[in-house]
Amino acid sequence: MISQFFVLSQRGDHIVFRDYRGEVPKGSAEIFFRKVKFWNDDEAEEAPPVFNVDGVNYIHVKVAGLFFVVTTMVNVSPSLLLELLQRIARVTKDYLGVLNEDSLRKNFILVYELLDEVIDFGYPQTTSTEVLKSYIFNEPIMVDAGRLPPLGPAAMFMQGTKRMPGTAVTKSVVATEPGGKKREEIFVDIIERISVTFSSSGYILTSEIDGTIQMKSYLTGNPEIRLALNEDLSIGRTGSSTFDYRSSSGGGAVILDDCNFHESVQLDSFDIDRTLHLIPPDGEFAVMNYRITQEFKPPFHVTALIEEAGPSRAEVLLKIRADFSANVTANTIIVQMPVPSYTMRASFELEAGAIGQTTDFKEGSRRLEWSLKKIVGGSEHTLRAKLTFSQESHGNLTKEAGPVNMNFTIPMYNTSKLQVRYLQIAKKSKAYNPYRWVRYVTQANSYVARL
């Protein structure tokens, strides 16, 4: 099983290093780091998460800019180790509130303590934040979450909604509030990552939603929770991808292709009333993951044009239309477009009165970058750019440029129309009324428009 576990910083420093079986030769962390840094230098490829050097298998995940690595000599299940690494990162985050190099360095003794209980003799024991609580004696040393650069799902709620206390999700499960009293609250996040590819004529070629219902509970006494989803939600009829596009009007029911659930979820009444029963364990976890290939209305319509304008010049036109209601605002939008490799210069022309928009020509990677702080629903934005080439363009410009890729986050918007109808907390007294946060967010996973 697992021979060693270690966490390395971006510069390759050991932050935590634990050897469980003493069978891997010395210097494995250095070998790993060198291999990852210089995987395939000339082709600029990223190292795969699993590789073998001299008979030692290195399995790693990248979390918050850190490498979480295990080594093993045995032919084990890679999924088991990758899941475990991800879970170790999550448990650590549950305890430290924030997971980054700084918090990890300050709390490395606590992490050793956790590791002692999580893995013994190379076998995973438990990764339940709750079970671990009784064996952890170190108090977490908090780092200031305010200064942190926005990272991951926790951060994306901060700007979008004012009613949300920004630090709520960066709270440790074990730390007590300054007042000595713990705030009773529960967070349910519906996070959807969408992938859309538009053809050059603007048609949708492929579309997919990968969704997850994430929960983080700070409720004392672990009360039972009922989470009700859309009543007309239907699941399955897999294998017939032609079938999925039947209800293209999009007005109808939500059809999930498939989904899976956290082990704490009881599905007894799910088939009848689409309600999930669960006793949420402490810490953050995914209640349910789902996948939708049913057609949906994409939040943005993207048009991109590139045209020759003289012997060694071209003009680019990028247009984005936000196809959602005006009370929703998308933020941190980045539009990227690769341009022909012989492009020397690019000059940009933003629309009149543009606020919070920046443009850039990345010479190294030969791409235009257009970022917008926010886009209000219903609005439309355009960017014009003039390209100057170092040589005469030959043939078809559209084959040498593009595709356009877009990145964005839309808080309080969900593409699939999957809803949490209600979130019920079974509880003893009437006075008990914990805070319930149900939040939706849509993110671009791969949002591509071809030229």
Partner 1 sequence: MAPTVPSPAKSASPSQPSGKSEVTDLKQQLRQLAGSRAPDADDQRRDVFKRVISCMTAGIDVSAAFGEMVLCSATSDVVLKKMCYLYVGVHARNHPDLALLTINFLQRDCRDQDPTIRGLALRSLCSLRVPNLVEYLVAPLATGLKDPSAYVRMIAAVGAAKLYHIAATSCLDAELPAALKALMLSDPDAQVSFHSTNNDEIVLQLSSTHYLCIYLNCLICNCRIKEFSEWAQCLVLELASKFLPSDNNEIFDIMNLLEDRLQHANGAVVLATIKVFLHLTMSMTDVHQQVYERIKAPLLTLVGAGSPEQSYSVLCHLHLLVMRAPMLFSSDYKRFYCQFSDPSYVKKLKLEMLTAIANESNTYEIVTELCEYAGNVDVPIARESIRAVGKIALQQYDVNAIVDRLLQFLEMDRDYVTAETLVLVKDLLRKYPQWSHDCIAVVGNISSKNIQEPKGKAALIWMLGEYSQDMHDAPYILESLVENWEEEHSPEVRLHLLTAVMKCFFKRPPETQMALGATLAAGLSDTHQDVHDRALFYYRLLQYDPAVAERVVNPPKQAVSVFADTQSSEIKDRIFDEFNSLSVVYQKPSYMFTDKEHRGPFEYSEDLSNLTVGAETSEKVISAQRYQENDNDLLLSTSDKEDIGTAASNGSASTYNAPSDLIGPSLLSSQTPSETSLINPGGPTYSSQSNFSLDDLLGLGVPEAPAAPPAPALTLNSKPVLDPGTFQKKWGQLALSLSQECSLSPQGAASLMNPQSLIRHMQSNYIQCIASGGQPPNYKFFFYAQKDGATAFFLVECIVNTASAKAQVKIKADDGTAAEAFSALFQSALSNFGLS
Binders in 62-81 for partner 1, by CB under 8 A = 62-63, 73-80
Residue among 97, 130, 136, 101 at smallest CA distance from 115 = 136
Residue 338 touching partner 1 (CB under 8 A): yes
Compare residues 278 and 385 and give the one whose CB is closer to partner 1. Answer: 278
Q: What is the rounded CA–CA span in Å between residue 134 and residue 170?
A: 21
In the set 4, 16, 132, 189, which binds partner 1 (CB under 8 A)? 16
The least CB distance from residue 75 to partner 1, in Å, is 4
> Residue written as tokens 């956790």?
114
Q: Are 373 and 330 in contact (CB under 8 A)?
A: no
Residue 25 touching partner 1 (CB under 8 A): no
In the set 65, 109, 232, 379, which binds partner 1 (CB under 8 A)? 109
The interface with partner 1 within residues 200-239 (CB under 8 A) comprises: 206, 208, 210, 212, 236, 238-239
Token pair for 2: 């697992």
The least CB distance from residue 92 to partner 1, in Å, is 15
The SS3 call for residue 148 is coil
Q: What is the DSSP string of 77-124?
A: -HHHHHHHHHHHHHHHHHHHSS-SHHHHHHTHHHHHHHHHHHEETTEE
The least CB distance from residue 49 to partner 1, in Å, is 4
What is the signed CA dihedral for 18, 118, 132, 181, rounded to 10 degrees? 50
Compare residues 155 and 259 and give the one whose CB is closer to partner 1. Answer: 259
Choose the binding region for partner 1 from 56-64, 175-183, 216-224, 326-334 (rule: CB under 8 A).
56-64
Residue 154 touching partner 1 (CB under 8 A): no
Residue 19 touching partner 1 (CB under 8 A): yes
Q: What is the rounded CA–CA span in Å between residue 7 and residue 28?
A: 12
> Residue written as tokens 């995914």?
286
Q: Are 400 and 340 in contact (CB under 8 A)?
A: yes
- The secondary structure element, H or E, covering residue 33 is helix 28-37
In the set 11, 25, 137, 251, which binds partner 1 (CB under 8 A)? 137
Do you find a cis peptide bond into 403, omega within 30 degrees of 0? Answer: yes
Amino acid at 256: L
Choose the binding region for partner 1 from 129-137, 275-283, 411-419, 424-432 (rule: CB under 8 A).
129-137
Q: What is the rounded CA–CA span in Å between residue 403 and residue 380?
A: 20
> Residue written as tokens 């044009």?
305
Contact letters for partner 1, residues 353-382 (x by CB under 8 A): ------------xxx---------------
Choose the binding region for partner 1 from 57-65, 159-167, 379-387, 429-437 (rule: CB under 8 A).
57-65
In the set 12, 31, 35, 86, which binds partner 1 (CB under 8 A)? 86
Choose the binding region for partner 1 from 60-68, 143-151, 216-224, 320-328 (rule: CB under 8 A).
60-68
Contact letters for partner 1, residues 262-281 (x by CB under 8 A): xx------------------
In the set 10, 34, 112, 310, which binds partner 1 (CB under 8 A)? 112
Compare residues 180 and 395 and give the one whose CB is closer to partner 1. Answer: 395
Q: Cα–Cα distances in Å, from 325 out to 79, 290, 373, 374?
A: 41, 25, 18, 14
The least CB distance from residue 86 to partner 1, in Å, is 6
If you count DSSP H runs as helices and E runs as strands, how many of each does the chain have, helices first?
A: 7, 26
